[in-house]
Amino acid sequence: MSISEETVDQVKKLEADKYKYGFVTDIEMETAPKGLNEDIIRFISEKKEEPQWMLEWRLKAYKHWLTMEEPNWAKVGYKKIDYQDLYYYAAPKSMDRPKSLDEVDPELLKTYEKLGIPLKEQELLSGVVAVDAVFDSVSVATTYKAKLTEMGVIFCSISEAVREYPELVKKYLGSVVPHSDNYFSALNCAVFTDGSFVYVPKGLRCPMELSTYFRINAENTGQFERTMIIADEGSYVSYLEGCTAPQRDENQLHAAVVELVALTNAEIKYSTVQNWYPGDETGAGGIYNFVTKRGACRGDNSKISWTQVETGSAVTWKYPSCILQGDNSIGEFYSVAITNNAQQADTGTKMIHLGKNTKSTIISKGISAGRADNTYRGLVKIMPKAEGARNFTQCDSLLIGNTCGAHTVPYIETRNPTARVEHEATTSKISEDQMFYCQQRGLSPEEAVSLIVNGFCKEVMKELPMEFAVEAQKLIGISLEGSVG
Amino acid sequence: MSLLSIRDLHATVGGNEILKGINLEIGPGEIHAVMGPNGSGKSTLSYVLAGREGYEVTRGTIAFKGKDLIDLAADERANEGVFLAFQYPVEVPGVVGMTFLREAYNAKLRYLGKQEIDAMEFLKFVRSRAKTLNMSDDMLKRAVNVGFSGGEKKRNEILQMAVLEPDLAILDETDSGLDIDALKLVSDGVNELRSENHSMLIITHYQRLLNYIQPDHVHVLAHGKIQRSGGKELALELEAKGYAEFSEEAA
């Protein structure tokens, strides 16, 4: 992978509008009353036509949530969230379960077109990517469903999965992230509204990239999506999520849960390009991105790989993790986190080694500019039975300017003497020499920063599926605008 | 008309005056060598011309193709056609040489209001330039200057120069740290580019580079001023007598 001229191109083009996804779709919405109580949860469950067990699970999670306290150990600061001042359900009125794309409100289709996500199949990237589009609390459309169904792949919204495949959902829901796991995930369990569900049958290498595009549109609304991916024995799937939200002065909460299960010899590759609205230069507005993502390598020789490019959100609290249960299973975490202006990110991973000869790799690249704070927080835990476990961790931080911060907080716990754990960390600044060298070759200061940062992130960027790598490169350039000069 | 016209140039670095009234005219296609003892202001002159931050012009003018260069940022000067081959080329980790060069090439095209070049077409162009210079383009597959030997770094600078085709190339001690083979390869490259469209300002401490590249004019820079100018025979004289004379002159 090389850094393309598109990066630089895009930076130039977008100088005027810094966050091009900041528009609002004017569409009639149906919302639940503001606030959170059991009735709201019943309302959501009813809207989704859920079975009784699902409602009970939600209520159990809610009761547990009431006993919990918001975590405060992360190196982030934000205004206290008033959970009674939020809407927990918002759906376009026209979204009363359209049967096909033809019935979807044209206003919504237009929104996704504007975001660069055409939902009409013939307009999609020559059939290599299937998309589930989630707008506020509901899934708008899922493309290529028929084609995928033929192969035995289930790709649908999680609401639909609860109705259509209750046994599968029941078996795996909460099995990786239990309802009591943490404050934000418990809240998600109680009020989750939509998200994607993927099941890949035994022995199948899913020939398409599966992708979910999350859009927050409504005001004062939290988005609580839940995604589940199950890769049955010997299967493979690559999945990508993208996220954007309108530009608003107030903060919005996004508390998602993602659960991955890889059975024997299965592999899941999960990529994220997170571009929620980051707030303005002064720190007003932006998304609180408090997300729990965890994958279980349940079977022997299974593999889960997380790749994330985090450029958006005002505050990020996110630790995509792997539980390496199966012998010889592999967990990977590749991360680029960029914070500019007043953004704060506390992100990293957890690698829990349970099985024999389990391996994990962590490559984290944090870039800070403006007054931003960027923290890598990671846990590598080797349990007593994890004979021959190995981990390699590399955390690199890059600082742009003198007013930002980079922090690395690694936790390493080994309870098996055969474990090998390596941790490397560097912190560097873009040097004046590098800037001058690039400028002397004709690059503007912003083009130079974009090029240098893309080079810094290269090891992670090359893990992204090709279709999205270019997009991610552009994003890096855009999100660092105004960081020099 | 001169391509580059420097008049009474004074410049400071960190508040210290390093250049104290430089006058220099470089015509199209001419090769000028600026020689001088360590600390005479040679590298400062190259940075001032390239527009490096922290190098402040306090008096005088620099006209390039009739334009006032002092008002332009470093990248604008580069795109106007000023190229600096660095004494210490800088590493850019993770950025492949070919990409770096294409970004630079396209930046200039954009500056000139021209269409950017297609990646494949550019690759062909670079290969042909490398071939003319009798250089391999292998190093362009690696990250810019990362893990390069001293000789490779200098060759890389010359290859970049050949691709970017500047009107004026400033070679800042390009010969330093080169063994005789590398020196020859670099000089051959420079001679290959010699034409009426390419002027050069060669900054060097030693005369030996000028055995391979024949300058039209030689200047001696000492104490922030050009003390003497002459033809290539001046370089030989310096080689024989050293710079001692100029330290006395100034004193």
Q: Which residue of B has its CA nearest to A452?
A: B92
**Domain assignments of chain A as residue spans, ordered by start:** 5-479
Chain A interface residues (partner B, CB cutoff 8 A): 2-5, 8, 12, 431-434, 436-445, 447-448, 451-452, 454-459
Q: Which of A404-408, A414-418, A427-431 has the highest mean pLDDT?
A: A414-418
Q: Rounded distance, CA B81 to CA A118, Å? A: 43
- CATH number, domain of B230, equals 3.40.50.300
Q: How many helices (H) and strands (E) does chain A have?
A: 12, 23
Q: Is the ipTM, as predicted for this complex, more than 0.90? A: yes
Q: Which of A444, A455, A459 comes nearest B95 by C-beta?
A: A455
Given an 8 Å threshold on Cβ–Cβ distance, is B103 in contact with A432?
no
Structural domains in chain B (count): 1
Buried b (16+ CB within 10 A) or exposed e, A123-144: ebeeeebbbbbbbbbbbbbbbb
Name the β-bridge partners of B11: B19, B57
- Distance (Å) from the alpha carbon of A17 to chain B's nearest alpha carbon: 20
DSSP per position, B39-80:
TSSHHHHHHHHHT-TTEEEEEEEEEETTEESTTS-HHHHHHH
Which one of B75, B109, B120, B157 would you mutate to disrupt binding with A, by most A Cβ within 10 Å of its Cβ?
A: B75
Quick: pLDDT tens for B63-78.
999 999 999 999 999 9
pLDDT digits (tens, 9 = 90+) for A78-116: 888 888 888 888 777 665 555 556 666 666 667 666 666
Q: Which residues pair with A215 in a beta bridge?
A: A135, A244
CB < 8 Å to B102, chain A:
5
Provide the residue-wise pLDDT of chain B in tens; the chain has 251 residues. Answer: 789 999 999 999 999 999 999 999 999 999 999 999 888 899 999 999 999 999 999 999 999 999 999 999 999 999 999 999 999 999 999 999 999 999 999 999 999 999 999 989 999 999 998 888 877 778 889 999 999 988 889 999 999 999 999 999 999 998 888 888 888 888 888 898 888 889 999 999 888 888 899 999 999 999 999 999 999 888 888 888 888 877 755 44
B50 vs A: CB within 8 A: yes
Nearest to B49 by CA among B27, B78, B29: B78
DSSP tag of B3 = S
Neighbouring CB atoms inside 10 A of A288's CB total 23
- Nearest-angstrom CA–CA distance, A269 and B207: 60
- Angle (nearest 5°) at CA A103 between A101 and A104: 65
Burial zone of B244 (CB within 10 Å; 0-12 exposed, 13-18 middle, 19+ buried): exposed
CA triplet A392, A464, A114: central angle to 5 degrees? 145
Domain range for B85: 4-250
- Hey, is the C-beta of B94 within 8 angstroms of any chain A C-beta? yes
Query: H helices then E strands: how many in chain B?
Result: 9, 12
Q: Rounded to an integer, what distance in angstroms lies between the CA atom of residue B226 and that of residue B236?
A: 17
**Alpha-carbon distance B243 to nearest alpha carbon in chain A (angstroms):** 30
Cα separation of A166 and B127, whole Å?
61
Question: Chain A contact for B153, CB < 8 A?
Answer: no
